[in-house]
A and B are shown apart, each in its own frame.
Chain A
């Protein structure tokens, strides 16, 4: 990063350069991803061999309580896993890391609209991480009401051990994270709206920019609702309001009058929570879809098929995404008519995703495909996102959802989309853009091997979860063997666990690749992939201020192929350098 003022601290730690902020987000959220993965390993151990002693961890974590998981610890485990992954790993990887790094570059801006606010949003994010991690060490332990934190389990300290300060800290972390994300989203939206380079019309924006932009807009629209809901829950816990607590409860022998209740409703939380958390899953997938569109196009040397329909698909996913939240509540007692309404909107939202899938296939159809590591991951996204989306059809059909709700089919569905989809897209994006970030190449060979093992292990882990759910195995169970119905599922659970260990271990290939690249990777020029979008017009890494020449955008982002001109691609800007 040449050109920045100030010494080490100003340049690398408290920098307001969006690229540094992006990399800071990358490191922080990747660490949380690793933590979430570790927690998942513990979950998988328990599900395969319940109540046995885990090597190393058993002694370390449970040493003074018999060296074995106990049920309360298990509930905290999956709560922390889900929360870490959704809020502290995936969302910030997309909007924080890639969003911050790429958005100004893609639109041709020298930085984000509000650079200092941008840096602030990172440090607030870090504070949220710290609060979240701290919640594991307070008395009573971490929150153990699931990442969904449904009251009254979450709001009444008498209902669960971790419902004491653990839950409060969890809520504080979520609220603080909300502030950080809203600031970040604001920055991205304003940058795209106001700071596009001359000639960069809306319909010339790369789909990565569209994905990040719409995802950020969705965050702005929906996140305040969760933040408000979280604040209401904190009020319930700290000042005895009863927003979510109905009258007449007897929790853990505490008689009704002892609980300060004013006739609130647990369903209110569910509405507020899912009003954000459903669009959140689209925030987790739209940028990924954007990455995939760009990477497929670059590596097939062919324009994205159906640019306008793709943009319409992105915006309609976001729009529809705001009106489907009730499908998480089909069994909550929503009522007959509401169930029908949400079923309809949920069915509809499958349509734009299907359209995008066909457009991706059409993009590479007849192309000149380079099977780089990035391309492998992008293709993997398409395949596995489709599986995840298809299982969603079962869940969208309300009578079938009545059976499948809260079973492992839901777990299979969202892991295929988030892991098979978004995480693969993130790996694709890392392979594609790390050379731009660091100026050094990653190893293609190692990258492809990483892809192969990840792809196979991923399917081994999450495919059997469909069967587990179809057989009725519920989520969040510490020991499926309690029920005779689940006796036959033991071999599946064990297979999934072995595969999960393999999947986790295999990720070390990427870490090795990255480390090797940072120290020994071949230096790359401005445009190693021969891509058209603006970030490839500048140096790798880009300087402070991003572009060293004037930008005049003269065409769309996907001019590849025989109509491109002298070479098989035409950069978006005719740079004067």
Chain B
């Protein structure tokens, strides 16, 4: 029986480690990251992952060892040990130290994400309007200011400049949604009645999927969007093209 029990514990140990080891190559892992803060977040993730792995292996090995030695129908009785203060202090202190290290280690990244002091100056690049079940965006337009007549409205796709700080203002029309761009490691709940700022810098031009990450009704699963980051020059061109489109008299439709 003890063979089976220990084998099971070891199977768990090996199984978990093996599964996690092969996951990245199958794409069952963090998607490639594309924002400046993402590298910090991924670093934290990996560091904590190591702590988790070490903790896991330690506990499983100890458990297997204890079961192996204990479950062999030994003669006699166990020692009636009620505890050991030194041991308690030791493992409490060790775990506490690790936890404190993680706690303090992540503070800079949290500040980078949310410290209001880090918010880019100037107005938002775009307002994100979440509604059941679409993302709509009001870009600030060529003048760079929102609330002016050259604001551009798009559905589904947010276009921003790459390589420079972007400030978004998130608003919801109806219920709580959440603006989640996995490849940028960004998430901010969009709560109706308040507007939430979100700032980030995208490292490289590209397109990234936008996912709604807060249950917002039955269309929640399909509330998809896209963030497209263009180099500044191309971004300005895109703005100019859209500005021209705003002047259209509709003749391009009469093909």
Contact = CB atoms under 8 A, between A and B. Distances in A.
Instruction: Consider the complex of A and B and state whether they touch directly, i.e. have CB atoms less than 8 Å apart.
Output: yes
A307 B82 CA distance: 7
A75 to B, nearest CB: 5
A362 to B, nearest CB: 7
Interface in B184-203: 185-189, 191-194, 196
Nearest to B19: A463
Interface stretch (B62-70, B158-166, B232-240, B243-251): B62-70
B15 A459 contact: yes
Interface centre among B29, B92, B131, B178 (most CB of A within 10 A): B92
Contacts of A476: 215, 220-221
Interface stretch (B38-46, B120-128, B134-142, B143-151): B38-46
A285 to B, nearest CB: 17
Contacts of B55: 354, 386, 390
A399 B48 contact: no
A347 B96 CA distance: 9
Given A366-B79, A368-B78, 15 more contacts: A146-B215, A153-B216, A251-B173, A252-B174, A332-B189, A343-B106, A351-B92, A362-B81, A366-B66, A393-B48, A399-B112, A406-B178, A467-B19, A479-B221, A560-B77
A152 B192 contact: yes
Interface residues of B, number: 103
A472 B193 contact: no
Contacts of B80: 302-303, 559-564
A91 interface: no
Given A397-B48, A405-B187, A561 B79 contact: yes
B102 interface: yes
Interface of B: 1-2, 4-5, 8-9, 12, 15-16, 19-20, 23, 26-31, 37, 40-41, 44-45, 48-49, 51-52, 55-56, 59-60, 62-63, 66-67, 69-71, 73-74, 76-84, 87-88, 91-92, 95-96, 99-100, 102-103, 106-107, 109-116, 131-132, 173-176, 178, 180, 182-183, 185-189, 191-194, 196, 209, 211-222, 224
A367 B81 CA distance: 10
Contacts of B83: 305-309, 359
Interface stretch (A97-105, A483-491, A498-506): A483-491
A400 interface: yes
Given A371-B2, A394-B45, A560-B78, A364 B66 contact: yes
28 contacts: A152-B175, A160-B217, A248-B192, A249-B193, A263-B193, A302-B78, A309-B88, A331-B188, A340-B110, A354-B55, A354-B91, A354-B95, A359-B88, A365-B62, A369-B70, A379-B9, A382-B63, A398-B110, A399-B110, A402-B185, A403-B41, A406-B214, A463-B15, A463-B16, A467-B20, A472-B211, A485-B31, A562-B77
B106 A399 contact: yes
Nearest to A567: B77
B48 to A, nearest CB: 5
A472 B213 CA distance: 10
A470 B106 contact: no
Contact of A252 (B51, B132, B183, B212): B132
A300 B78 contact: yes
A475 B212 CA distance: 10
Interface in A139-156: 144-146, 148, 150-153, 156
A54 interface: no
Contact of B174 (A159, A267, A376, A387): A159
B153 to A, nearest CB: 16
A561 B213 CA distance: 54
B187 A402 contact: yes
B52 A394 contact: yes
Given A467-B23, A474-B211, A558-B82, A455 B192 contact: no
A74 B219 CA distance: 10
Contacts of A382: 59, 63
A485 B5 contact: no
A564 B77 CA distance: 10
A489 B28 contact: yes
Contacts of A394: 45, 48-49, 52
Nearest to A308: B83
Contacts of A348: 99
Interface in A220-265: 246-252, 263-265
B103 A366 contact: no
Contact of B95 (A251, A355, A485): A355
B78 A347 contact: no
B187 A455 contact: no
For the complex of A and B, the 6 pairs showing the least CB-CB separation, nearest first, are A246-B193, A561-B80, A472-B182, A563-B80, A369-B70, A488-B27
